[in-house]
Chain A
Amino acid sequence: MITQRNMILLGIAFVALALVPAVSGLFLVYLVTEIMIFALFALSFNLLLGYGGLISFGHAAYFAIGAYACAVLLTTLGWPFLFGFGAAILLSAVSAAVIGYFCVKLTEIYFSMLTLAFAQLVWAIAFKWVAVTNGDTGFTGVAVPGWMDEPVRFFYFTLIVLAVCAYMLWRIVNSAYGMTLVATRENYNRAEFIGVNVRRIQLVAFVLAGTFAGVAGALFTLFNHAVFVENAWWTQSAEVMIMSILGGVGSFVGPAVGAAILLILDRSLAEITVYWPTVLGIILLAVLFFFPEGLMGVAKKAGRKGK
């Protein structure tokens, strides 16, 4: 909910993040930048999963489209940064609109399978269209503009983009449209009966989610100076789903927290054991069995008990 208190808390979070480069080394600057990019990706995904109840298995497609478009427009075509970055996001939105148009015609598992199929198609194009994407060798040497090609500056650029996008998403989910989207999730038929064009509502959610995923993808390209076909592979779609579930789909910030936890776990576990996938798997099992509402769900419960 948009309350004064929540606004203040988000403001504090923003300021806390803004202080990271001032108080820490380069390592944390990199890690937090990466977390912010994936937090945005997860927030965009949760518009579908958490608010729309739409289980997309192919959300990586829009991340990858944004990432590749940004790389190609800035590097191969040499567009100025703002045009290239903007066009990459626009292209993600258009792709999401086209793909979403077909996907929202289906429901439940059929919807999920179609999103997966389209995402694999995007992957196949990235893999096969070697002349443009450089195939599975990866697109490297992205022409990142000089003014942001510095870890701390890029950190702040990412932070500002994240803050703007998160604020927009927050306004969206708390708007009349957002409430209607939740209504379609809660009861598809009832929403239709009262005159809601459910498909259109879902399509808008699909396009919005795809657009913000495209922003995250474009940021990812700028961050790494590179983009790889693995970014379009279905495991990337699974990863963003895991982030959302881990953090909690029932909460606005849950997926962002999930992204942070997953990345931190991933990095720290890899240092401790080569069996990190097993440990990660066990943690996920535990979350799914014992905290189905995710970590933010746990926090919420604890908060209620406290009162």
Chain B
Amino acid sequence: MITKKRLMAVAALTATTAIPTFAAADEGVIRIGALYPTSGPCQMIGDFALQGTQMLVDEVNAAGGVNGQMLEVVHRDSRCDPAEATAMARDLIAREDVDFLVGGVSSSVGQAISAVSRTEEVIYIASIPKTVQMTTPENLHPYVFRSAANTNTEGGSAAVLADRLGLDRICTILMDYSYGHSLNEAFTSTLAEIRPDAEIVVQEWPQNGTTDYTAHITNIMAAGCDGVFSGVWAGLFPAFASQAGPFGFFDQVTYITAGEVGSPELAEQMGADMPEGIWANSYEVFYYPDTPAHNDFVADLQEELGVEHTPSWPVTGYVALQWLVEAMELAGSAETDAVIAALEGLSIETPIGTQTMRASDHQANRGQFWGQMHMSDDDAYPYPVMDPVEYIPADELMD
């Protein structure tokens, strides 16, 4: 039965939610809604990306803001969960009155935020989600842009490497979810184009969430391939490497892996456990390229984080917001349609070089840094580094 007291309790509850902390709609401030996971399994990536975002905001504000307006970041924890990210994106728009959305880590969260940005007509810059589906014609809409690399670029870059390394019998080991399948499509189609004689011998699909790769490792070793393309990404790689290492796996095959295994934070975490000579990628590495813009960025980041050797993820948050800042400056306003028009075809100077946002599908030509992992010669940094290291551009590989 519903008693008066119960009803009072419900009323009290309603009252507490009816007093939301409505953001003071300050005309002079541009509010950026950041959706990064700061708890749960993607926390590390989210924390770093958020720090990168904040660093750019501080820089811009110190220099007088954008068109005279200050930037302000409002963060909500997207928790690596699309339903949560949807609610939080709405929350940012409806309650915090943000002008733009940035962020996301996993593909499904990217899709979820994109869905909100479409219905709410708020620009969203996807800084990390890679799935090509976000920018394919059936899902593309005027409000979504991606500063991250996509799975086509990542898988295609690996195929370019496989071609260069002269690999003809290739096995793949990719996680059995959309990221793995998208990488596979990109890798095999690019390989068929640039190295038609190469053969895909065996394809292994470990279940997402598995911790035992033994069967997959032995299958690949028995298949007699000379190269392996892997999508065992950074979070899973240490467990995989510790199981594959004792079999002599990494000595037998040339291992090319997507999923940011070459990032300095993973290299430091793994130390000597990082297999020598594997080919891996990263969004950024503090030791390359040796350009003034990149060195300045690293120096600022060192100061911001108080560490000597900076992690790779802050650049994703930094560049995502940089797109918005430069587009607003070009447009001379923070008005949505003007910023969309400015973003389409825009080229900007990022800490890692020039980037261009394609007008056709709102995808930046973001490539990644690839290289062969070797223990560093530098005594001050006794961890594996990419050597040689290069930036594989995305221009030929995005589609």
B-contacting residues of A (Cβ < 8 Å)? 1, 3, 5-6, 9-10, 12-13, 16, 23-31, 34, 127, 130, 134-138, 140-141, 149, 224-226, 228-231, 253, 257, 260-261, 264, 267, 270-271, 274-277, 295-296, 299-300, 302-303, 306
Cβ of A149 and Cβ of B83 under 8 Å apart? no
Q: Are B76 and A270 in contact (CB under 8 A)?
A: yes
Interface on chain B toward A: helix, strand, loop, or mixed SS? Answer: helix
Given known A136-B177, A137-B107, A137-B131, contact A9–B7 (CB-CB < 8 A): yes
Tell me the interface secondary structure of chain A in the complex: helix
Q: Are A295 and B181 in contact (CB under 8 A)?
A: no
Most-contacted residue by chain A among B11, B93, B94, B131 (CB, 10 A):
B94
A-facing residues in B1-22 (Cβ within 8 Å): 1-7, 9-11, 13-14, 16-18, 20, 22
Distance to closest chain A CB from B231 (angstroms): 14
Count of chain B residues with Cβ under 8 Å from any Cβ of A?
48
Q: B139–A140 contact, CB under 8 A?
A: yes
Chain A: minimal CB distance from B34 (Å): 13
A230 B82 Cβ-Cβ under 8 A? yes
- Chain A residues with Cβ below 8 Å from B86 are 224, 226
Is A149's CB under 8 angstroms from B111's CB? no
A226 with B178: CB separation less than 8 A: no
Which chain A residue has the least Cβ–Cβ distance from B138?
A141
Is B112 a contact partner of A140 (Cβ separation < 8 A)?
A: yes
B119 beta carbon closer than 8 Å to chain A = yes
B197 interface residue (CB < 8 Å to A): no
Q: Is there an interface contact between A299 and B112, defined as CB atoms closer than 8 Å?
A: no
**Can you name 14 extra interface pairs (CB under 8 A) apart from A228-B82, A264-B17?**
A3-B1, A16-B11, A28-B17, A28-B18, A28-B20, A135-B181, A138-B108, A226-B112, A228-B112, A270-B88, A274-B77, A275-B39, A295-B9, A299-B5
Indicate whether B157 reaches chain A with its CB closer than 8 angstroms.
Answer: no
Q: How far is the CA of A303 from the CA of B9 in the complex (A)?
A: 11
- Partner of A25 from B22, B82, B114 at Cβ < 8 Å: B22
B58: interface (CB < 8 Å): no
* B81 close to chain A: CB less than 8 A: yes
Chain B: minimal CB distance from A18 (Å): 13
Docked CA distance A229–B18 (Å): 32
Question: How far does the Cβ of A106 sit from chain B's closest Cβ, in whole Å?
Answer: 27
Which one of A1, A23, A130, A230 contacts B1 once the chains associate, using CB atoms below 8 Å? A1
B25 to A: closest C-beta gap in Å: 11
Query: What residues of chain A lie closer than 8 Å to B17, measured between beta carbons?
Result: 28, 31, 264
B contact residues around A27 at 8 Å (CB): 20, 22, 91, 94-95
Contact call B20/A224, Cβ cutoff below 8 A: no
B14's nearest neighbour on chain A, judged by CB, is A16
Among B80-106, those with CB < 8 Å from A are 81-83, 86-88, 90-91, 93-95
Nearest Cβ on chain B to A74's Cβ, whole angstroms: 15
B17's nearest neighbour on chain A, judged by CB, is: A264
Q: Are B112 and A25 in contact (CB under 8 A)?
A: no
- State the CA gap A303–B4 with chains docked (Å): 8
> What's the count of A-B pairs with C-beta under 8 Å?
133
Contact with A along B293-307 (1 / 0, CB 8 A): 000000000000000
A224, B2: Cβ atoms closer than 8 Å = no
Asked if B115 lies at the interface with its beta carbon under 8 angstroms from chain A, I say yes
Sample (24) of A-B pairs whose CB atoms are under 8 Å apart: A1-B1, A12-B7, A13-B10, A16-B11, A24-B18, A26-B93, A27-B20, A28-B20, A30-B91, A130-B178, A130-B181, A137-B107, A137-B111, A137-B133, A138-B107, A141-B138, A141-B139, A226-B86, A231-B83, A257-B10, A270-B76, A295-B9, A299-B6, A300-B3
On chain B, the residues within 8 Å of A10 by CB distance are 2
Q: Whole-angstrom distance between the alpha carbons of A231 and B87 in the complex?
A: 14
Cβ contacts under 8 Å, B87 to chain A: 30, 34, 267
A136:B95 contact, CB within 8 angstroms: no
Q: Please encode chain B, from 199 to 224, with 1 for each CB lying within 8 Å of some chain A CB and 0 for all others.
A: 00000000010000000000000000
Q: In the complex, what residue of chain B is closest to A1 when comparing beta carbons?
A: B1
Known contacts A27-B91, A137-B131: A230-B81 contact under CB 8 Å: yes
| A9-B2 contact given A27-B20, A225-B119, A228-B83, CB 8 Å threshold | yes
Q: In the complex, what residues of A have CB within 8 A of residue B82's CB?
A: 138, 226, 228, 230
Q: A230 near B108 (CB under 8 angstroms)?
A: yes
- Residue of chain A at shortest CB distance from B133: A137
Q: Chain B, 214-258, contact with A by CB distance < 8 Å: what is the 0/1 string?
A: 000000000000000000000000000000000000000000000
Task: Give the Cβ gap from A163 to chain B, nearest Cβ, in Å.
Answer: 15
Contact at B91–A267, with CB atoms within 8 Å?
yes
Contact of A261 among B13, B22, B95, B177 (CB under 8 A): B13
Is A224 within 8 A of B83, CB to CB?
Answer: yes
